Amino acid sequence: MKIARINWAGKVVWAEFADDGNAYEIGGPGGNPARGAKLGPIDQARLLAPIEPQNKVVALMGNWSGRNGRQGSGLWIKPNNCIIPTGAPIRWPKALNHAPYFEAELAVVIGKKAKDVSVEDAKDHIFGFTITNDMTAFGVLQEDTVAAQSFRFKLYDDFLPMGPWIETDFDPKGRELRAILNGEVKQRGVFDNMAFDIYETLSWASGVMTLEVGDIISMGTPPGYVEMARGDVIRCEIDGIGAIENQLI
């Protein structure tokens, strides 16, 4: 089921995008799962990022290096100022003197509050999945005096395109992620190759911090990310979910 956060006639609502081509009111993460009133054709809805302003995004680093000798991923919190929906421009920050990089990622949406959850129980806390582009300005690390402890390179406005919706009926096993820059495939990865799978990651993250309903874990990116230039269009795709597309301006 595709659950989208949309602007419908000036009102922000969660909606099911049904197979009949119409949008129906429905609860988002933690909300009423019953289909509500019919809103109208899907193409009349304006997509928003599928996350509420009060929720956090936990992002991973180093989760595609292979399973031998796993030492644990790095993590940080992407603030709300980073989040934009598919179709919105990625605005090059005036204060940034280095080219940003794209990073296509699978993201897990929390559907039930999680704290110290076991790997075995992690599945019960998942609402669904979406797509993120965890934009990064690696050149900033050359400027920060304590680069190993600085995440400025991840925190600029518009540095987390997200969407297009939440897919609740998705199994990442055997699925592929792709990042396409100006029509050319740059990243390709199968989720079976992640160092830590979604259940291990949710369990680990819930031991660090409480994961609230609607929070998101962005699962890290495979090799292949490259720097972008103004005017570039980046498209991130996941089989079984959909795609997001944004232009760097």
Q: Name the superfamily (CATH) of residues 50-247.
A: Fumarylacetoacetase-like, C-terminal domain (3.90.850.10)
**pLDDT tens-place string over residues 204-235:** 999 999 999 999 999 999 988 899 999 999 99
CA neighbor of 177 nearest in space, from 227, 212, 134, 113: 134
Binned at pLDDT 50, 70 and 90, residue 71 comes out as low
Give the pLDDT confidence score for residue 33 in this predicted structure.
87
Least confident window among 83-97, 98-112, 137-151, 185-199: 137-151
Measured distance CA(111)–CA(116) in Å, rounded: 15
Residues belonging to the chain: 249
Whether 241 and 167 have beta carbons less than 8 Å apart is answered as: yes
Question: What distance, in Å, lies between the first and last C-alpha atoms of the chain?
Answer: 33
For the chain, the average pLDDT equals 93
Output the CA torsion 248→191→237→20 (10° steps): -140
CA distances from 190 to 23, 68, 105, 178, 216 (A): 31, 17, 11, 9, 20
| Mean pLDDT value of segment 84-103 | 95
User: Residue 144 has what pLDDT?
Assistant: 63
One-character DSSP codes across 130-142: EEEE--B-GGGGG
Domain ranges (residues) in the chain: 1-48, 50-247
What confidence tens digit (pLDDT) does each residue in 124-133 have?
Answer: 999 999 999 9
pLDDT tops 90 at residue 237: yes
* CA–CA dist 128, 29 (Å, integer): 8
| Third-level CATH fold of 1-48 | SH3 type barrels. (2.30.30)
3 state SS of 52: coil
For the chain, give the percent of residues with pLDDT over 70: 93
Q: What is the mean pLDDT of residues 166-174?
A: 97
pLDDT digits (tens, 9 = 90+) for 103-126: 999 999 999 999 999 999 999 999
pLDDT over 80 at 149, yes or no = no
Output the DSSP codes for 190-222.
EGGG-SS-HHHHHHHHHHHSPBPTT-EEE----
**Hey, what are 32's tokens?**
């009423």
What are 187's two structure tokens?
Answer: 């990243």
Q: How far apart are CA 14 and CA 48, in angstroms?
A: 10
CB atoms within 10 A of CB 75: 20
Task: Please name every residue paired with 56 in a beta bridge, in sequence order, or none if there are none.
Answer: none
Sheet holding 184-190, edge to edge: 184-190, 176-181, 233-238, 242-247
